Homo-oligomer: A and B are copies of this chain.
C-alpha cells in the first residue's frame, strides 16, 4: 500500500479577493491538520468567476506567477509550514496584454515546482474565457512532489481525452482539475442532471483509459451576473476523486463549502495497468490524424 490523502478545497467566493484568499489559506491549514497531503484549490479560487462577462477592468485581478511572486510566496510558506503539496489555480499576468489561466504547484517543503497554463480555452455565453486568457504555451506537465507525481489540467481541459492522455503519459499518478462549472438557472431544470453527469463521466473515463487517479475541485454558490437583468451561475460543487477503475471514491456536496479529504492507494495504478493493459496496446502508428481539427475532406 502506498497511501496518500488528497484534499480538495471547495468553496464560494465573495467579491473581496482578500477575504476569499484568507478563507482558502484557512481551509488549506485545516485540511492539512486533518491529514491531507496534496491539497488543490478550485479554479481561480481568489475571485468570483469573473469570466461571466467581458470587462477590461477585470484584468487588474491578474498577477505574476513565479517563485518570487507574492501569491506564490504566501502559498509556499503555508506548504512548508504544514508539509503539504499545494496545487493553486491563479489568474496569471505575464506582461501587459498577456494573461493566462494558470495553476502553480508548491512542494511539501515550500519549493515552487512550476506552473501549468490552461491549454483548452472555452468561450460560451457567461464563460468568456477566450477574452481573458491566451491559450497555454507550456504544454502538458507532471510535477514530482514529495507524495506523488501529479499532473494538472484546468476545467475545459477536462473534456479532452488528449489532454488527460498526454499528462498520464508523462507519468502522472493523479491528475488534478481545478474547475469552475455550474448551471445557468434557465437550463437547470431540463438539463442540469445530464450536464453534471457528462462532466463527471468524462473525467471518470480519463481515469479508466489511463489507469490513474483523477481529482476535480469545483466551486459552490450562486454568483450573480454583473450584467443587469441577467441571471448568474449556480456552481454545482461535487468535487470528487475517481480511482483508476473510474469509481468515484468520494464526492463533495452540491452547495456546501468543504475540504473533501480522500485517501487513495497509489499502488492500485500498477495492478490496474497489468489487469487492463490499455497502454501496452495503443496503436501509436495510427494516430497521426489527431493533428487535424476534423478529417472529412479529401
The interface of chain A, by Cβ under 8 A from chain B, is: 119-124, 135, 139-140, 142, 156, 159-163, 165-166, 169-171, 194-195, 197-198, 201-202, 204-206, 208-209, 245-247, 275-279, 281-284, 286-296
Contacts and interface: CB of A to CB of B under 8 A. Distances in A.
A205 B200 CA distance: 10
8 contacts: A120-B281, A159-B209, A166-B289, A169-B290, A170-B295, A197-B247, A284-B290, A287-B291
The 6 closest A-B pairs by CB, nearest first: A205-B205, A161-B161, A169-B295, A171-B296, A202-B205, A159-B278
Contact of A281 (B156, B198, B206): B156
B296 A169 contact: yes
A119 B287 contact: no
Contact of A246 (B120, B202, B245): B202
A289 B120 contact: no
Contacts of A201: 201, 204-205, 208, 246
Given A208-B201, A247-B194, A284-B293, A276 B119 contact: no
B281 A294 contact: no
B202 A198 contact: no
B290 A290 contact: yes
Contacts of A296: 142, 169-171
B290 A166 contact: yes
B293 A282 contact: yes
B161 A292 contact: no
A163 B166 CA distance: 15
A161 B165 contact: yes
A200 B60 CA distance: 45
A66 B82 CA distance: 67
Which of the listed residues A169, A245, A286, A296 has the most CB atoms from chain B within 10 Å of its own CB? A286
Contact of A198 (B163, B171, B208, B290): B208
Contact of A287 (B122, B159, B290): B290
B290 A162 contact: yes
A34 to B, nearest CB: 28
A199 to B, nearest CB: 9
A161 B198 contact: no
Nearest to A195: B245
Which among A142, A209, A275, A282 has the highest number of chain B CB atoms within 10 Å?
A282
Contacts of A171: 294-296
Contact of A245 (B194, B282, B289): B194
A138 to B, nearest CB: 10
B159 A121 contact: no
A156 B276 CA distance: 10
